[in-house]
Amino acid sequence: MKKRIALVLGSGGARGYAHIGVIEELERRGYDIACVAGCSMGAVVGGIYAAGKLDQYRDWIQSLDYLDVLRLVDVSFRLGAIRGEKVFGQIRNIVGEINIEDLRIPYTAVATDLTHQQEIWFQEGCLHQAMRASAAIPSLFTPVMQGNRMLVDGGLLNPLPIVPVVSSHCDLIIAVNLNSTHHNNYQLPVIERPAAFKGRFDSLMSSLGSHIPFRTKQAEHLLNLEQEMLNPLTEQLPDPWLESAAPKARHTGDQGAPKSATGSFIIDNVGPASLLDLINQSFEVMQTSLAQYKIAGYPPDILINVPKRVCRFFEFYKAPELIALGRQIAKDTLDRYESEEH
């Protein structure tokens, strides 16, 4: 008998393409995905799957050549680097006009209401608007205005929305975490790309980051807001969670206890190259800690961890590699679960 699963698809920018590979592996093994909850790219992939259009979406993103990707970047310098109208317009063409309550399985998209500083669940109404709001990555995509609410990426408060499926009465809850700091043995498959394209894409993103108009007060407000939201949560986390989320530093001087805030130390990681990098790296640090908090509070039956280091937040041109990686990680994780079960 097929096991009915509640699938939770987390936030993580371009790494969200790995969700497609995970779904493919689950279906290949005969699991019945009975409901789905998602955040950001998890909400997009989950919504398209619930609408029965995932094959068409996968074929589209894998068929994009390098110029196609650049053409989808509709530059904006107002509350985000990219308007997103071209990308989400194509998604609307694939999915069509459909309401969440008319999908073949229950679906929840999670967004963040910046105006009231609260989490929003979309469980009815326009699917397209729910996906667009949930995936409005701060600094990268412009927010969605809904009445007096400014809606942005749900990952700001809940990058792994397990709670919406807890009462689903499924056999298993399977969560896909795109912000894992473990599983360092996984690497993206190598797919050769013209160096000129990668250079042009990186140059474009760097240029967008250096011209975002809210790089002073609004960027500072966003960083302060995320820290304000994060502090009370991290105080509740056990030390191992905090240690795994903290950046690794190499301290100078005597070995032993870490240096104080005034002591000298060298950070191994290279710093952000632009404002866009700075905001996205800050966003990812926050998401990593919040995801671990959610996992600790509501442990799923199966946790599929995709390491966040495999690609940068905005490398959306790596769809084929990320789909293949998601499929491989899901295969390994499910192999372990099924062998322990039997």
Q: Which residue has the tokens 């699938």?
A: 7
CA 179 – CA 72 distance, rounded (Å): 25
Question: Token digits for 257?
Answer: 């206890």
CA 46 – CA 98 distance, rounded (Å): 14
Q: Is the pLDDT of residue 239 over 90?
A: no
3-state secondary structure of 2: coil
Per-residue pLDDT, 313:
78
**By C-alpha distance, which of 62, 54, 60, 51 is closest to 26?**
54
pLDDT tens-digit readout, 22-52: 999 999 999 999 999 999 999 999 999 999 9
Q: Give the distance from CA 186 to its chain's centroid.
A: 18
pTM (whole model) above 0.85: no
Least confident of 95-109, 250-264, 282-296, 308-322: 250-264
**By C-alpha distance, which of 232, 210, 213 is closest to 276?**
210
Secondary structure element (H or E) that encloses residue 321, with its range: helix 319-341
What is the bridge-based pairing of β-strands 4-9 and 172-180? parallel
Per-residue pLDDT, 138:
76
CA 119 – CA 117 distance, rounded (Å): 7
For range 175-200, the mean pLDDT? 74
Q: At what angle do helices 54-63 and 319-341 cross, to 10 degrees?
A: 140
Question: Token digits for 32?
Answer: 């019945």
Per-residue pLDDT, 197:
55
Question: Token digits for 43?
Answer: 């909400």
In the chain, the amino acid numbered 217 is K
Confidence grade of residue 112 (pLDDT, cut at 50, 70, 90)? very high
Question: Token digits for 248?
Answer: 């690794």
For range 124-145, the mean pLDDT? 89
| Cβ neighbours of residue 146 closer than 8 Å, sequence gap 6 or more | 129, 133
Q: Say if CB 23 and CB 49 are below 8 A apart.
A: yes
Question: Token digits for 93?
Answer: 């063409």
Question: Looking at residue 102, what DSSP letter applies?
Answer: G
Q: Give the catalytic positions in this structure.
A: 40, 153
Q: Is the pLDDT of residue 207 over 70?
A: no
pLDDT tens-digit readout, 152-185: 999 999 999 999 999 999 999 999 999 998 766 8
